[in-house]
Structure 1
Amino acid sequence: MNNNILDFAIIASGIIGYFTSISLISSSFYKNRANNYLSLSLFLLTSLTLLGWFDIENTVLDFLNNPVLEYLVAVTLFSYFLIQIQHKYLQKSWYKWLYLPFIASFIIETIVYLDSIFNIYNSVFNDLIFHVMDNASFIYNVFLIFWSRKLVKHSNTISEDKKRWLLRLNFFIICIILSWLLSNIEFYVFDSEYTSNLLWISLSFLSWWILYYGVFKLQIIVQKDEIHKYLVTKKANSTSTKRKINKATVSNIISKLYELMDEEELYKNPLLSRLDIATRLGTSERDLSQVINQETNKNVIQFVNEYRIKAAKELLHDPVFNKYSVEAIGMESGFKSKSAFYNAFNSSLGMSPGAYRKFQKTS
């Protein structure tokens, strides 16, 4: 009964893995160069999971089983991380040589496979060759995944949100490699395969994790960064306009606050707190709250969210940003989460951001 449940879970994860890998290269929302490599990596990992879980010995599929695919997935994952951080290694001539272990293993596996079927070479070294290739593929994967982790950690070309996500994905893959190591130790030392089950289950879980958390969340971050870069460029190329402040009626604190919001766009910091604002203005939180309430009849959160909603409305109204998701626009406007964005927007305008965008298109 338990085996049947695990079989079903592995098959379901395999379907999700293949579906996700296809979606990454076919959907305009996800399609980009980095996701092409992620798609191939996920396709290979899903295939390795299904080939490893189910008995495919003495079939043509046995040829595709490890370690051939393991060499290829190591390079595709490494390439994915390099593209995400826009690393200069991608332009190096030696980069293509990383595929050499895969090509060599493919040739060797072809020779060994033909020998096992037709007994052409009568080789007694087939098992030895397989174990050497298998252990070498493990070392190769460890080397590239830790190398990519180091490069991501020291990268200064990406946002902290994106770096955090990439390191999280990298750590998950390291956990899978650890399961791989334990399964090899168990197999060679104790001649059992209990840990192997953990490895295949971990690999299958990766498909769900990438689909429900990784791919979508990362794409939101990517879109938010693209929007931000566009706005920064647009602002740099245009003349800045300052809010006209009536010094007779607006306090000095409010005057400085407007400058921080209009010129520095302080509201775009999702972690912005009342203390942060008060510190920048050289006043206390209590005085800040009192002045904002007296001058605008709002509390600090309402005051900041008013700026964020205004920024979101401008982005939702501009057709340039139609290709970007509502959540990415909310993040760029300074909201910490999708729920906070939707709640504030709906409270202010009586409709969701998506409904507002549709309304603007039809009006």
Structure 2
Amino acid sequence: MNKTILDFAIVASGIIGYFISISLITTSFYKSRANNYLSLSLFLLTSLTLLGRYGAGNAVLAFLNYIMLDFLVAVTLFTYFLIQIEHRYLKKKWYKWLYFPFFSSLIIEIILHLDSIFNLYNSDFAVLVFYIKDNTSFAYNLFLIFWGRNLIKNSNTISEEKRRWLLRLNFLIVCIIASWLLFILFNSEYVANFLWIIISFFSWWILYYGVFKLQIVAQKDEIHEYLASKRTNGTQTKKKINKTTVSKIITQLHILMDEEELYKNPLLSRLDLATRLGTNEGYLSQIINQELNKSVIQFVNEYRIEAAKNLLQDPVFNKYSVEAIGMEAGFKSNSAFYNTFKTSLAMSPGAFRKLQKTS
């Protein structure tokens, strides 16, 4: 019974994996050079899972398993990371040599394993060569994945949100490699099953974090770049600073929000604001409460809501998702954006956008 459930989960995840990999290269919303490599990586990982689980009884499938597609997975994932961080390595001549281990493996397997599959001639080195290639493949994947992780951490060409998503994706791949190592060391059926489950889960994780969430981050970056260009060209309309308040610190706070847009930082804290204003957290909270009759977070969220409203009612941003707009406005999560917006305007961001289109 447990084996049946496991097989069902693996096959279902395999179908999802193939579906996502095809969608990435056929759907205009997701289509990009980086996603082409992500699609190939997911296709190869899904194939490796199914081949490793069910390929032993079929000569053709066994041959596909022998040629070590995992050599190719490492390179496609590494390329995906390089494109996302716009790294100069993509233009280096030596970069193409990263594919050399896979093509070498393909040639070696054609020569040495024809006998084991098609019974053409005898080869006594097949098992030894497969053992060497299996361990080399593990080391190669480990090297490229950690190399890619280091490049992501040190990149200065991407936003912090995008860096977090890429590091999470990279971490899941590290988990797969760790499971793979356990399988090599112990060669246990339980470890093997765990490895199949992890790889199968990868398909579902890719759908949410590696594709949907990362696409939202990419949209957020596009919105941010567009707004930055408007500021550079001097076409942005500044908000009016409230000068009716008694305290100078409130006026300074409005200036920080209007000119530096501190509210767009999702990690902005009361301490950050107090530090910028040269005061302490307690006094800042007290003065905002006394003069504006609201808390610090309410004050900041009002700016975020106003920014989101401006984006949602501007036709220029109709092609962008509500989630990306909320992220650009400074909200840390979609749920925080939705709840705050609905509390403020008694409707969801999506309903507000629809209302603006019909009015």
Q: 1:303-323 CA distances to partner (integer Å, 9 max, x unpaired)?
A: 221211111111112222222
Show the 5 A alignment for 1:147-296.
147-187=147-187, 192-238=188-234, 243-245=239-241, 247=243, 250-296=246-292
Return the alpha-carbon distance in structure 1 between the equivalents of residues 91 and 65 of structure 2. 31
In structure 2, relative to structure 1, the CA distance for the partners of 1:88 and 1:8 (3 Å cut) is same
Alignment pair present for 1:83 and 2:83: yes
Give how far 1:289 is off. Answer: 3.5
Question: Which consecutive residues of structure 2, in runs of 5 or more, have no partner in the other structure?
Answer: none
Return the alpha-carbon distance in structure 2 between the equivalents of residues 7 and 213 of structure 1. 25
In structure 2, relative to structure 1, the CA distance for the partners of 1:242 and 1:141 (3 Å cut) is closer
Name the amino acid aligned to 1:112: L
Name the amino acid aligned to 1:44: L
Give how far 1:111 is off. Answer: 2.9
Which has the larger displacement, 105-114 or 151-160?
105-114
Q: 1:33-69 CA distances to partner (integer Å, 9 max, x unpaired)?
A: 1111111111111111111112533421111114421
Asked whether the equivalents of residues 46 and 203 of structure 1 are also in contact (C-alpha less than 8 Å), the reply is: yes
Name the amino acid aligned to 1:78: F
Asked whether the equivalents of residues 38 and 80 of structure 1 are also in contact (C-alpha less than 8 Å), the reply is: yes
Asked whether the equivalents of residues 241 and 255 of structure 2 are also in contact (C-alpha less than 8 Å), the reply is: no
Which has the larger displacement, 241-250 or 39-48?
241-250
Return the alpha-carbon distance in structure 2 between the equivalents of residues 63 and 139 of structure 1. 22
Q: Which residue of the partner structure matches residue 352 of structure 1?
A: 348
Give how far 1:26 is off. Answer: 2.3
In structure 2, relative to structure 1, the CA distance for the partners of 1:306 and 1:63 (3 Å cut) is same
The count of aligned residue pairs is 359
3-state DSSP of counterpart to 1:68: coil
Name the amino acid aligned to 1:288: L
3-state DSSP of counterpart to 1:65: helix
Name the amino acid aligned to 2:258: D
3-state DSSP of counterpart to 1:31: coil
Asked whether the equivalents of residues 169 and 209 of structure 2 are also in contact (C-alpha less than 8 Å), the reply is: no
In structure 2, relative to structure 1, the CA distance for the partners of 1:117 and 1:305 (3 Å cut) is closer
Q: Which residue of the partner structure matches residue 93 of structure 1?
A: 93
Q: Which residue of the partner structure matches residue 328 of structure 1?
A: 324
Give how far 1:127 is off. Answer: 2.0
Asked whether the equivalents of residues 243 and 258 of structure 1 are also in contact (C-alpha less than 8 Å), the reply is: no
Name the amino acid aligned to 1:266: L
Name the amino acid aligned to 1:34: A
In structure 2, relative to structure 1, the CA distance for the partners of 1:278 and 1:328 (3 Å cut) is same
Show the 5 A alignment for 1:290-309.
290-309=286-305
3-state DSSP of counterpart to 2:86: coil
Q: Which residue of the partner structure matches residue 40 of structure 2?
A: 40
Which has the larger displacement, 115-124 or 127-136?
115-124
Name the amino acid aligned to 2:147: W
Name the amino acid aligned to 1:94: W
In structure 2, relative to structure 1, the CA distance for the partners of 1:29 and 1:250 (3 Å cut) is farther
Q: 1:276-298 CA distances to partner (integer Å, 9 max, x unpaired)?
A: 22222223444433443454443
Name the amino acid aligned to 1:349: L
Asked whether the equivalents of residues 14 and 50 of structure 2 are also in contact (C-alpha less than 8 Å), the reply is: yes
3-state DSSP of counterpart to 1:283: coil
Q: 1:8-48 CA distances to partner (integer Å, 9 max, x unpaired)?
A: 11111111211221222222332221111111111111111
Name the amino acid aligned to 1:314: N
Asked whether the equivalents of residues 55 and 65 of structure 2 are also in contact (C-alpha less than 8 Å), the reply is: no
In structure 2, relative to structure 1, the CA distance for the partners of 1:310 and 1:137 (3 Å cut) is same
Show the 5 A alignment for 1:138-153.
138-153=138-153
Return the alpha-carbon distance in structure 1 between the equivalents of residues 118 and 62 of structure 2. 15
Which has the larger displacement, 16-25 or 284-293?
284-293
Asked whether the equivalents of residues 67 and 134 of structure 1 are also in contact (C-alpha less than 8 Å), the reply is: no
Alignment pair present for 1:106 and 2:102: no
Which has the larger displacement, 221-230 or 68-77?
221-230
Return the alpha-carbon distance in structure 2 between the equivalents of residues 7 and 76 of structure 1. 27
In structure 2, relative to structure 1, the CA distance for the partners of 1:83 and 1:245 (3 Å cut) is closer
3-state DSSP of counterpart to 1:207: helix
Asked whether the equivalents of residues 63 and 117 of structure 2 are also in contact (C-alpha less than 8 Å), the reply is: no
Q: Which residue of the partner structure matches residue 133 of structure 1?
A: 133
Question: Which consecutive residues of structure 1, in runs of 5 or more, have no partner in the other structure?
Answer: none
Q: 1:146-203 CA distances to partner (integer Å, 9 max, x unpaired)?
A: 211121121111122222222222222122112212212224xxxx544222222211
